[in-house]
Amino acid sequence: MQIFQEIKNIVQRSLRISLELYKIMIPIIIGVKILQEVGLIFWLAKPLSPIMHLVGLPGEMGLVWATAMINTIYASMIVFVSLAGSFDLTVAQVTVLCTMILVAHGLPIELEIVRKAGPRMGFQALLRIGGALVLGLALHHCYSFTAWLQQPNVILWESQPESANLWMWGLSQVQNLAMIFVIILILTAVMRIFTALGITHFCVRLLAPVLRSLGVGAEAGTLTIVGMVMGLSYGGGMIMHEARSGHIADKDIFSSLSLMGLSHSVFEDTLLMAVLGAHISGLLWARIFFTLLVVAALVRLVARLGDSFFYRYLFKPVKVFAQPEPCCPTMIIEHK
């Protein structure tokens, strides 16, 4: 009977997390589709043209980054493939563009998920867009100075045109939302199994010095790892759920989601950009190093500025509701 109760708890928790995400994602998905249909994304890309020149890219690549920021990585890949044939891009240039996309993409949905957990949207948007620009500039100058990766870029993927049929588009979105629930269900089950076996506790203790230096406490440690590996929608959604239960300190939430914002889904998204020809030096290693550096500096700056500044400009506490048993390993250990 205990195992059936545990399965029931896992399913109920996964449903709660998914429903919280759906409330955010569905209106934004529809809004983005409307922007795409009326051609507004093209006009949003216009101001990005000078910025693209700063990082050594043709101004037209601004449309690729704008599509990524407003829509998804997949949509930006389609735009990139359709434009890339008109330009003689190098591996270095594509690496710069793709790394910037990985830092700042899917902002309407991801920033709203972050906001629901407490961090203020304005600063998080500045962190991700500004971080993408700074990292893009650093990579551009590094590759230019060393003359590294200056060979012509080779794209390993050809896109299929998106269906213009609204019914097919709607069906694909429903399938995506259903898949989100399945992934969250699997993640929740795996986390409970790992917790029971002591694996999550071991991982958090192993990474505790690094996470602690980044201002991420043990309670948020496991979920931060989930977000970095699986994506901000999953890790952020779980942290949003835990934030409303009051199990994670405000500054841990802020540090964890800031870290996730700059580096999340490090395997899947890195591979997606690699098929466009981008190099792992920027996609993975530079992005992770940059993230650790920025978050470590941010944590120290927040501590120096004090709580008054933190709650006024960086974080708005969420309303805490009574919740069932938390998933974080340290909390479960304390309950025992």
Span 59-106, pLDDT tens digits: 999 999 999 999 889 889 888 987 888 899 999 999 999 999 999 999
For the chain, the average pLDDT equals: 85
Which own/partner contact pairs does 119-125 have at CB distance under 8 Å and 24+ positions apart? 119/253, 119/254, 119/257, 119/258, 119/314, 119/315, 120/313, 120/314, 120/315, 120/316, 123/313, 123/314, 124/257, 124/258, 124/261
- Vertex 326 angle, CA 324 and 327, to 5°: 135
Please report the pLDDT score of residue 19 as a whole number. 87
Confirm whether 202 is domain-assigned: yes
In a domain, 226, yes or no: yes
Question: Is residue 41 one of the residues assigned to a domain?
Answer: yes
- Residue 304 burial (CB < 10 Å; 0-12/13-18/19+)? exposed
Domain range enclosing 292 = 13-335
Look at residue 215 in the predicted model and tell me its pLDDT.
Answer: 77
Q: What is the dihedral of CA 255, 256, 261, 266, to 10 degrees?
A: 140
pLDDT, residue 186, reads 87
Domain count, the chain: 1
Q: Is the pLDDT of residue 181 over 50?
A: yes
| 299 belongs to a structural domain | yes
Quick one: average pLDDT of 168-188?
84
pTM for the full predicted model: 0.82
Cβ atoms within 10 Å of 44's Cβ, excluding its own: 16
Does residue 2 fall inside a structural domain? no
